[in-house]
Amino acid sequence: MRKVLAMLLIGSVFCGMMAGCGSSERAGDEQSASGTKGTDTEESGSEEGSTGGETNLTFAWWGNQTRNEMTQGAIDLYVSENPGVTIDGQFAEFNDYWNKMATSSAGHTLPDIIQMDYGYIEQYANNDLLLDLTPYIEDGTLNVSDIDEKNLNVGKVGDGIYGICLTVSPPALTYNKTLLDENGITVKNNMSMEEFFDVCREVYEKTGYKTNISYGNDVYLTYLLRANDEVLYEKGKLGVKSPESLQKYFEIYELGLEEGWLLDPGVFAERTLGSMEQDAMVYGNSPETMSWCSFIWANQLSAIQNAAPEGMELDMVTYPSPDPEKCNFLKPSQLFCVTVDSKNSEEAVKFIDFLVNSQECNEILLCERGILTNTKMGEAIIPKLSDADKKAIEFTNNVIIPTSSQVNPAPPEGSSEVSSLIGKMIERGCYQEISAEDAAQEIFDQGNEIMAANADK
């Protein structure tokens, strides 16, 4: 009997660590939950968030080294202009950022100001985690008069405005210009799929550099589906009518594998996906582990250029597409929100106003997050821009805006799980573990199931 007891004891103590892990954030939850519910968010300004006349704000964003430095610069400027206010800047990579936000929301300890993605705002607003900014816009604390209506509506969920869209950015195929120039290879805007494949083949034959096609994410797939008027994520289901259009996408990988120009998936096993610093276009030590291009967003050019080795010049063209006009779009790249957990919401809103309207601030941030929605400000900072930023702006204004369509609606709940499923399928496809047909079928079946399950919630 004693042995059994001893065994149970050992077992339970160790597993406790694990079972507890699933919800360790909950311990403090009860207290702080009652804390925030009991106090009105607006009135409680002088309680925990501030001490001795000081206002402490926290501000979280995702990003890269370039953005972190710039944003910290903007924070320093604000703090120096506003004595008595301190701002604690917190940053993480995109994926980690959302894990962190989710757990903080459970503990009711969300930062005062958070950077918000178009893909998450519905979910956060619908779960009452964000503050409606309408009253502040009405009383003038937050001046959005220079942001046009279309961009302002991006932050609208139901009747409230929950986020201010600071920047927009189009998808852009960035490429290693130095490499292509040296070998006399040209790329152009609005390439057809066949033209793009020819470039991939030519680059591979001449230089040994391979091609990374949006590995592990759904960005390019979403983009291509727009050519058939299909929206990947719809409420409760996938917006594709049959697995065929998904299959067409996966056939690109099959083609690349067959012809040898697709980047080996083993390269990505040791990288943080989505990190500009570790992107296969700028990071790697031999042609067979590097890509000549990267499917990213125009605003990311400055960050990835900063991460590139000396002497590597980057440039961008549109994603290859059978129908550029339908496929191209401007994505609201960054929204800023005040959370319900903020004890100093008024001060937090003032900081967002600073981000939108301060010229000095935007001279620091420049266009790293995208083209400013505050058009006046966008013009004012042009002289300060780096070459990479100027390229991104020219690209957006001259290439994208004249031939583009409306962005897809904000993806509903469940999309992040399906997105991860697509990433996994791309992985399996690249390892030749699954055929394009089967991958498409699996995404179609499981994806619809996941979206449906999330719609019932």
Partner 1 sequence: MAKTKRTIGHSLLTKESSAGVLFTLPFTVGFLMFMIVPMGISLYYSFCEYNILSEPKFIGLDNFIKMFTDDAIYMTSLKVTFFFAFVSVPIRLVFALIVALILLRTTKVTGFYRAAYYLPSIIGGSVAVAILWKRMFAIDGVVNALLGKIGIETSFSWLGDKRTAIWVLILLSVWQFGSSMLIFLSALKQIPSNLYESARVDGAGKIAQFFKITLPLLTPTIFFNLVMQMINGFLAFTQSMIITQGKPLNSTLFYAVYVYQQSFEFYNTGYGAAMAWVMLALIGAVTGILFATKKFWVYEGGL
- Which residues are at the interface with partner 1 (CB under 8 A)? 3-4, 7-8, 10-12, 14-24, 26-27, 95, 98-99, 102-103, 105-106, 123-124, 127, 129, 264-270, 284-286, 288-289, 413, 416-417, 420, 424, 427-428, 431, 433, 457
Nearest distance, CB of residue 7 and partner 1, angstroms: 5
Task: Locate the DSSP E strands across 383-449.
Answer: none
| Nearest to partner 1 of 94, 329 (CB atom) | 94
Buried-exposed string 210-223: b where 16+ CB fall within 10 A, e elsewhere: bbbbbbbbbbbbbb
Nearest distance, CB of residue 25 and partner 1, angstroms: 9
Nearest distance, CB of residue 285 and partner 1, angstroms: 5
Beta-carbon contacts of 232 under 8 Å, excluding residues fewer than 6 positions away, are: 218, 221, 222, 225, 238, 239, 240, 408, 411, 415
| Nearest to partner 1 of 194, 456 (CB atom) | 456
> Cα-flanking dihedrals φ and ψ of residue 168, to 5°?
-125, 155
Strands 156-157 and 160-161: antiparallel
Strands 331-338 and 160-161: unpaired
| Nearest to partner 1 of 268, 292 (CB atom) | 268
Distance, CA of 454 to CA of 457 (rounded, Å) = 5
Nearest distance, CB of residue 201 and partner 1, angstroms: 22
Nearest distance, CB of residue 142 and partner 1, angstroms: 25
DSSP state at residue 395 = I
| Nearest to partner 1 of 284, 320 (CB atom) | 284
| Nearest to partner 1 of 375, 432 (CB atom) | 432
Nearest distance, CB of residue 410 and partner 1, angstroms: 15
DSSP code string of 290-343? -BSEEEEEGGGHHHHHHHSPTT--EEEEPPP-S-HHHH---EEEEEEEEBTT-S
| Nearest to partner 1 of 8, 382 (CB atom) | 8
First to last CA, the chain: 46
